A and B are shown apart, each in its own frame.
Chain A
Amino acid sequence: MKLYLSSAAVIVAGIFCLPASAQWFDIQKKGVPRTADGKPNLAAPVPHTADGKPDLSGVWLGDQWNPPGHRPNPAGASRPEPPAMLPWAEKVFAERRANGGKDNPEARCMPQGIPYASTLPYPFEIFNAPGKVVVDYEMYSLHRQIFTDGRQLPAEFQSPSWMGYSVGKWDGDEFVVETAGFNDQVWNIDLAGHPHSDAEHVTERYHRIDYGHMDVQVTINDPKTYTKPWTLPTMHYTLLPDTDLLEFVCEKNIDPQHMVGK
């Protein structure tokens, strides 16, 4: 028994106790509310910006990836069920499924788009800036602007893009972001490749619950693709208060040459 115990303990220790580096993560940051033992107090109140709005800034990770202090049963782990698709979309989606998703631009290191970029096992960081909120997504080091200067979404897009064009405004305690103008390349909904059209309009409602937790509800409205608006299960996020984003540049991607699909 002793032998079993000690070898098994070494295995468990090997998983748990690898050396930590303070270069990018596990940094004790200033201004973070902490409990008596020095751990971040994720249950502390929501912080506010100078204009009295909830402050969404910080590094966030989806609860389905088990960040420390996450809430149980994250909704983001369940697969969203779409409403019925129009025939063209059914056909495209069936082809993507049949090919095992090999044509997903993400596999060629192209951006994931919104909301898919918010569901990845990598954190994103929200920054407040004059006239805009900026979101950096660690995976592929993506950068997104959400304009808060009162402008409207353009009626048409001269240059459709991978991350779309976003405007945001406050509705009570919720930051409501409207995004449109995605290009026809991006698989912006999920890894499974649910399709979209140039009529796609994504609404995100960000609601910070307390210091360490945030909910985001996403609705996809794309009448050229889906028979009715599609509200995804509410995503749950937990703050990573003592870490920073890492660089992620796809410098050597050899997977596509081995992707045979079926």
Chain B
Amino acid sequence: MRSTFSAIAAAAGLLLAAAPAGAHHSFAAEFDRGKPVELKGTLISLEWVNPHAWIHMEVKDENGKASKWDCELGSPNLLMRNGWRRDTIKPGETIVVSGFAAKDGSNISNARTVKTGDGTRVFNAGSSGDPGTPGASTQ
């Protein structure tokens, strides 16, 4: 059982890893690979705009205090070529965003993957900084 699960998880991981990342800007100038974040909350809006689409979401801490986070995705062009549409996730939906927080301490992260709250759908978010980006040596 375990081997079946891990093999499929590995296959899904490979798919994610193989999807392209955007160039646009250096990951290292804005985000901190030492500050991974996993944000679970409610989607306020998916802003479908170049050069980066943005997830605006509300995240509650353990005390129930809400804060707003902005998560950078790849460009709408890249997302569409990867199968995303502007209504792939909808306002009010519970989502989980995994990425890295901004260096400047603001409530901004890049997004590497986006999951629906029930875990049934996983999307590569195509933001900057994935290994393999040409000239990515500045990371």
Query: A interface vs B, CB < 8 Å?
Result: 1, 4-5, 7-12, 14-16, 18-21, 24-25, 62, 64-66, 76-77, 79, 96-97, 99-102, 104, 106-107, 109, 112, 116, 119-122, 138-140, 190-193, 246, 248-253, 255, 258-261
In the assembled complex, the Cα of A4 lies from the Cα of B26 at a distance in Å of 38
Given contacts A15-B123, A191-B133, contact A260 B104 (CB under 8 A): yes
Q: In the bound complex, what is the Cα–Cα distance between A37 and B72 (angstroms)?
A: 39
Residue in B closest to A121 when the chains form the complex, CB atoms: B20
Chain A, residue nearest B32 (CB): A260
Among B1-37, those with CB < 8 Å from A are 1, 4-5, 8-9, 11-12, 15-16, 18-26, 28-30
Decide: A119 near B134, CB < 8 A? Known: A66-B20, A107-B25, A251-B49. Answer: yes
**Contacts A121-B78, A138-B77, A139-B75 known; 15 new A-B pairs at CB < 8 A:** A1-B4, A4-B1, A4-B4, A14-B120, A15-B83, A16-B15, A101-B138, A102-B26, A107-B29, A112-B23, A140-B51, A192-B138, A250-B50, A252-B50, A259-B25
A–B Cβ pairs within 8 angstroms, 27 of them: A4-B5, A8-B5, A8-B9, A8-B12, A11-B120, A12-B15, A14-B123, A15-B12, A15-B122, A18-B88, A24-B80, A25-B80, A79-B135, A97-B137, A100-B26, A100-B138, A104-B29, A106-B24, A107-B26, A109-B51, A120-B23, A140-B51, A191-B136, A193-B138, A255-B25, A255-B30, A261-B29
Majority SS of interface residues in chain A? loop
Closest Cβ of chain A: how far from B135's Cβ, in Å?
A: 3
Interface residues of B (CB under 8 A from A): 1, 4-5, 8-9, 11-12, 15-16, 18-26, 28-30, 47, 49-52, 72, 75, 77-78, 80-81, 83-85, 88, 102-104, 106, 108, 119-124, 132-139
